[in-house]
Amino acid sequence: MAFTGESAGLTWQRVRVVLDGSAGGTIQGASPGARMAFEAFRKYLAQDKGNPIMQFVQFDSVTNGSDGGNAATVVCSGACTLRAIYARKTGAGTVDAWFKVNNSATVLSGTGDQLSINGKVQGTEFFQFYGGPGAASTLLSAGLPFATGITVGTVTAGNGTTQSLKADSFNGFVLITA
């Protein structure tokens, strides 16, 4: 899907609903630390970056699991910039699972990862911001650019493409800008 941004107010409303677990969705509420970090990032973008137009894209283990449906989730099919990501392993599986983010508009490949996270235990939680205060480099001060698009998924090995089962997969969302 191509980038289709919306107002900051609507984007952050979606973020709060998912992080609080009030939608009854697959994430079931994030940790207090994650909720506070996203709130701080929201305030930073509002005060210092002029509330950029963003797109909220949710992914879940039902579509990402090999026993569930889609092989991966295409977040954006064109050039975009990753601003924030939240992923949490909510299933009861105990097998290693790698959450991968690829610079691709169509498939999850075994190479070319922009980001790869390992999670074995239920409740493993990951969140990262790009373009916030204290960014790792000035290059990332405006986010993490993807030239082709973004595809996410959960696989059984860090360098592989075999999808994990639903019980071992991650649920979450990404925030992107054009």
* Average pLDDT score over residue span 58-82: 73
pTM equals 0.83
CA distance 115 to 70: 20
> In this structure, are residues 99 and 117 in contact, taking their beta carbons and an 8 Å threshold?
yes
> In this structure, are residues 146 and 103 in contact, taking their beta carbons and an 8 Å threshold?
yes
Rounded to the nearest integer, the mean pLDDT of the chain is 78
The pLDDT of residue 117: 67
* Average pLDDT score over residue span 5-12: 92
Q: 38-61, pLDDT tens digit by residue?
A: 998 899 888 888 889 999 998 876
CA distance 107 to 88: 21
Binning pLDDT at 50, 70 and 90, where does residue 12 land?
very high
- From first CA to last CA, the distance across the chain in angstroms is 13
